[in-house]
């Protein structure tokens, strides 16, 4: 099993580019198609903690559902935002890459470089 995971959406150019970057550098990550297989609450909480950002920072505010659910309300708690991402995985920003060197939201995809293990 790979020591690298990527929460991937093949329709997203940033996600495709991050995956290509990993492969170009000799890594074949475990690909998690998070729209089909969303993370568990604990996995999502672990990702948020590992990236050292808020749940809001990992959300896609451009998605229609973001506005429909009024997720721009600054009074919403982390738990409410996490619940929204679990219920609507499309709200998760991507790609999220996890390596032994760290976890990053890789937008732009070149941020993978910061956590790329040496082969």
The b-or-e profile of 32-41 (16+ CB within 10 A means b, else e) is bebbeebbee
Of 42, 55, 49, 48, whose CA–CA distance to 82 is shortest? 55
Out of 12, 31, 35, 90, the active site residue is 12
Peptide bond into 86 cis (omega under 30): no
Pairing of strands 5-8, 30-33: parallel
- Is 106 annotated in the active site? no
Q: Hey, which residues are catalytic here?
A: 12
């Amino acid at each position: 099993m790979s020591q690298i995971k990527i929460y991937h959406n093949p329709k997203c150019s940033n996600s495709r580019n991050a995956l290509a970057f990993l492969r170009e550098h000799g890594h074949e990550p475990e690909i998690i198609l998070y729209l089909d297989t969303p993370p568990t609450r604990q996995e999502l909480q672990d990702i948020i903690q590992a990236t050292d950002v808020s749940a809001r920072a990992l959300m896609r505010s451009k998605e229609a559902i973001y506005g429909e659910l009024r997720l721009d309300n600054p009074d919403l708690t982390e738990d409410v935002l996490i619940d929204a991402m679990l219920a609507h995985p499309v709200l998760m920003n991507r790609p999220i890459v996890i390596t032994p060197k760290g976890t990053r939201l890789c937008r732009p995809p070149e941020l993978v470089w910061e956590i790329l293990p040496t082969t």
